[in-house]
Amino acid sequence: MGRVTRSASSLSQQSRSSEVDENSQDSTSSLTEVLTCNSKSIQPDLSYHRKFVIAKENLTSTSTGVFALRHPKTGTRAYYNFDASGSVQELLEWNHGKRSFFYGDSVVSDGSIVMLSPVHPLFLILRYVVQKAQNRYVSLEDCLDDDSEFPAVKLLLANEKLQKALRNVTDVKTIEDETFYRCNEESLLIWLEKRFNILLESLTRNGDLHKSVLNNPDALRRYTFGVLCDFLPEAVATVLKTRLEIKDVEVFAEPTKNAGKRVAANAMDGDEENFPAVKKTPTISRASKQLQEASKGTKSLASFFTKKAE
């Protein structure tokens, strides 16, 4: 499973290409349209409009369209490119605000970068399988029935890579030439565990990770699990976390200043609560004493404002 390693700046807050008009009734468009148009306003001459895109070579030429689908983790709108080979790529946008690029002898005003990140198609339907086929057999067409919001998900019905992987995570029955699927939790966890191990090996070999992560097996597994969770519904991620025995980060309370001295004193002298508190008599300076002696017999300032009794 292809995935970009995270960084503290841009990738930790990856903005899925929600910049594309979400109010549009059309859930599909060409990849070129998505990369060149980002508003309904009058567009300039597109020969001068340029955007930096990170993708495999010739991917834009083999694209069959960009479609709005539910994101595997959040269920919200995200955009995916389908190509002729059956592969799927998620559109991710890095946008640092008002920035530009120098490119040759010109300036590219759009400082954002769009990356097409490969996604296994099974992750895109996992939410549907868990919700609709957990306790009963359903056809794939009925399982992917989301016409009200994301009708483009049915384009995955003909995806051979998806159909092959689906048999690895479900129980399958064929009745009168129609195939029905039921989610098998154990098979699903086994498949996800294999994806986890593949990702772990890839990050160890190719990931530009900090030594504190690479040299700590628990931290590396925790990081890998975090990347994988970006493609899993919360319920599935919770069960998988238990199976993989992912350890949470230990949080230690910061010791209170002089706490050690106080504990030692209590151990030597007993419980302080058993002894009455000793009131300290405040020390009066010499100048204060002289002032008190000089003010004897004089009225206080407040006495001039109090009402005399009749």
Provide the residue count of the chain: 310
Residue range 230-278, pLDDT digits in tens: 999 999 999 999 999 998 887 665 655 555 555 444 444 454 444 455 5
- The model's confidence at residue 307, banded by pLDDT at 50, 70 and 90, is low
Residues 12 and 7: their CA atoms lie apart, in Å, by: 6
In the prediction, which pLDDT does 15 show? 44
Phi first, then psi, for residue 239 (nearest 5°) are -65, -40
For residue 283, pLDDT over 90 is answered with no
In the prediction, which pLDDT does 304 show? 44
Residue range 37-83, pLDDT digits in tens: 555 555 555 555 777 888 888 887 888 899 999 999 999 999 999 99
Burial track 255-273 (b if 16+ CB lie within 10 A, e otherwise)? eeeeeeeeeeeeeeeeeee
- Indicate the pairing of strand 52-54 with strand 28-29: unpaired
Q: CB–CB of 191/167 below 8 Å?
A: no
For residue 14, pLDDT over 50 is answered with no
Residues 302 and 53: their CA atoms lie apart, in Å, by: 80
Dump strand ranges (E) for the chain. 15-16, 28-29, 52-54, 63-70, 77-83, 88-94, 101-103, 106-108, 113-119, 138-139, 170-175, 178-183
Residues 109 and 112: their CA atoms lie apart, in Å, by: 9
Tell which residue, 78, 63, 88, 75, has the closest CA to residue 14.
78
